[in-house]
């Protein structure tokens, strides 16, 4: 089967054959003319010799069964095989590999690059893909010095990505028969994602700092009760029962704290890797309601799930377990910190959620900000809003609610089993899903926590 490349090669081969024939005919004719002049050979005889030579050339170039394009096709095909093998190796590499022109335009990139940057990179300038000054400097230094360059840089966003780039110039041998202006400089670029390593380092230091700070008080309390039980309360059954109950409560608190810390660390470790599964937020909300119904009954309260789109499924790309954790944490907090007989509403819908009260205080991102970052219209966003009927949150507390271990009322939080990590976990899960969180509160009317998500691709 003849391809477009084969036709082009045959066309070029025909031009080469025609040119070669004309040169051979002209040179042979000139040689015969010189022979006739210098050797006093009759013109008729010289012409006859030239006609014989010309006839031989015609037979050689036009009537012989020779395909002049075959050698060229074979050479080109061999080079294509080499190129395809190199491309296959490049595509098989798990990390981004990029071939750059000297002006910084991406000439070739493997699939891992497109997955890493979230767009097709070929044909674009390197600085539009990796917006970091260190990358531009590394490219310039590699071209000027003809030496490989390696630098670390950070891609800023809702979740920062720590990367390392290795840029090496590709040397070429100058050839006398090739115009050097046609040979452009090339660079090969390797990109490594160091986010997991950096997060592990940060998690290790954060875990040690947080655990040592938060566990110090309950451990000291338990040690004090143990000393008391081994001392003057050794023979006092009533005191033993009381102190053992307190010790159990402190141990349970430490267990909840360690569980939340481990959960937060796990979420932070994968925060730079967006989930790919498709889940229905309305279904998850119904499941959370059923799971927390006993908790609501213990407070003599109720949980209601509402859909502003008449029960239409709201599908997002997400991690099912993490999204359950988000809605569950928010609903559990709403039950714990509301007034007597709490009424909690989980509102699911698309677009901008309705304002639940007048004179509302807000913190976090709006639907317009999140949609602009995602390249969508606000009406395309999917939201989950958890409302309560508590006394509201003070203005000075709102911006700090998602900080680790921040509590509006420390004693009340500890009494209700809180660890101060619930909203921090919610924030990091939403960051991983490339969404946004907005918190609203109205004095005497309650609070609303709204999580925005991008819809799943159809």
- Give the tens place of pLDDT for each residue, 391-420: 888 888 888 888 777 767 656 555 555 667
Q: Of 234 and 157, which is predicted with more confidence?
A: 234
Give the architecture-level CATH label for domain 195-273. Orthogonal Bundle (1.10)
Domain positions in the chain = 4-70, 93-173+180-193, 195-273, 274-458
Q: Of 405 and 241, which is predicted with more confidence?
A: 241
What is the model's pLDDT at position 178?
45
What is the model's pLDDT at position 383?
92
What is the CATH code for 274-458? 3.30.565.10
Mean pLDDT of 301-329: 87
341 contacts 301 by C-beta, under 8 angstroms: yes
What is the model's pLDDT at position 176?
46
Q: Of 163 and 59, which is predicted with more confidence?
A: 163
What is the model's pLDDT at position 134?
87
What is the model's pLDDT at position 135?
87
What is the model's pLDDT at position 175?
47
Using one digit for the tens of pLDDT, what is the confidence trace for 84-138? 777 787 788 888 888 888 788 888 888 888 888 878 888 888 888 888 888 888 8
165 contacts 150 by C-beta, under 8 angstroms: yes
Q: Worst-scoring range by mean pLDDT, 132-141, 237-246, 260-269, 393-402?
A: 260-269
The overall average pLDDT reported for the chain is 79
Strand partners, 304: 345
What is the model's pLDDT at position 113?
86
| Helix runs in 270-364, H state only | 281-298, 320-336
The conformation of residue 61, written as its DSSP 8-state character, comes to I
What is the model's pLDDT at position 93?
81
Across 38-52, 162-176, 317-331, which has the greatest mean pLDDT?
317-331
What is the model's pLDDT at position 207?
63
Q: Of 1 and 451, which is predicted with more confidence?
A: 451
What is the model's pLDDT at position 180?
46
Whether pLDDT at 450 is above 50: yes
Mean pLDDT of 278-305: 89
Strand order in the sheet with 302-307: 302-307, 343-350, 382-387, 446-453, 436-442, 361-364
Burial 225-236 (b: 16+ CB within 10 A, else e): beeebeeebeee
Name the pLDDT band for 64 (thresholds 50, 70, 90).
low
Mean pLDDT of 265-275: 75
Using one digit for the tens of pLDDT, what is the confidence trace for 349-384? 988 888 777 778 888 888 888 888 878 888 889 999
What is the CATH code for 93-173+180-193? 3.30.450.20
Cβ burial of 356 (10 Å; 0-12, 13-18, 19+) is buried
Q: Report the Cα 48 to chain-centroid distance in Å.
A: 79
Name the pLDDT band for 348 (thresholds 50, 70, 90).
very high
**Percent of the chain whose predicted confidence (pLDDT) is above 70:** 82
Whether pLDDT at 179 is above 80: no
């Amino acid at each position: 089967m003849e391809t477009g490349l084969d036709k082009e090669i045959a066309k070029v081969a025909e031009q080469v054959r025609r040119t070669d024939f004309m040169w051979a005919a002209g040179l042979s004719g000139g040689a015969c003319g010189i022979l006739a002049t210098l050797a006093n050979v009759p013109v008729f005889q010289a012409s006859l010799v030239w006609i014989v030579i010309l006839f031989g050339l015609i037979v050689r170039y036009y009537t012989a069964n020779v395909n002049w394009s075959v050698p060229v096709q074979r050479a080109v095909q061999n080079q294509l095989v080499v190129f395809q093998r190199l491309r296959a190796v490049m595509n098989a590499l798990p990390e981004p590999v990029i071939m750059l022109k000297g002006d910084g335009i991406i000439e070739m990139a493997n699939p891992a690059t497109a997955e890493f940057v979230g767009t097709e990179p070929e044909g674009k300038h390197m600085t539009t893909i990796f917006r970091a000054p260190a990358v531009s400097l590394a490219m310039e230094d590699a071209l000027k010095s003809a030496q490989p360059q390696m630098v670390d840089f950070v891609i800023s966003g809702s979740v920062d990505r720590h990367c390392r780039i290795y840029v090496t110039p590709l040397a070429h041998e100058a050839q006398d028969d090739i115009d050097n202006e046609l040979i452009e400089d090339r660079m090969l670029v390797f990109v490594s994602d160091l986010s997991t390593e950096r997060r592990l380092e940060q998690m290790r230091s954060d875990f040690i700092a947080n655990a040592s700070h938060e566990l110090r008080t309950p451990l000291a309390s338990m040690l004090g009760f143990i000393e008391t039980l081994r001392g003057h309360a050794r023979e006092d059954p009533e005191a033993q029962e009381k102190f053992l109950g307190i010790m159990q409560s402190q141990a349970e608190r430490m267990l909840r704290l360690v569980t939340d810390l481990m959960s937060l660390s796990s979420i932070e470790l994968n925060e730079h890797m967006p989930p790919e599964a498709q889940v229905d937020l309305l279904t998850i909300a119904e499941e959370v309601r059923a799971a927390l119904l006993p908790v609501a009954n213990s407070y003599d309260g109720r949980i209601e799930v509402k859909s502003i789109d008449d029960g239409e499924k709201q599908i997002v790309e997400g991690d099912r377990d993490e999204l359950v954790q988000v809605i569950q944490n928010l609903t559990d907090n709403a039950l714990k910190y509301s007034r007597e007989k709490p009424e909690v509403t989980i509102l699911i819908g698309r677009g901008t959620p309705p304002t639940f009260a007048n004179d509302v205080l807000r913190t976090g991102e709006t639907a317009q900000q999140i949609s602009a970052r995602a390249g969508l219209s606000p009406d395309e966003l999917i939201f989950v809003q958890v409302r309560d009927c508590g006394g509201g949150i003070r203005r000075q507390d709102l911006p700090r609610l998602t900080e680790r271990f921040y509590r509006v009322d420390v004693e009340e939080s500890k009494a209700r089993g809180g660890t101060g990590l619930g909203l921090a976990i919610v924030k990091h899960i939403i960051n991983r899903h490339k969404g946004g969180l907005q918190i609203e509160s109205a004095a005497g009317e309650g609070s609303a926590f709204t999580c925005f998500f991008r819809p799943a691709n159809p």
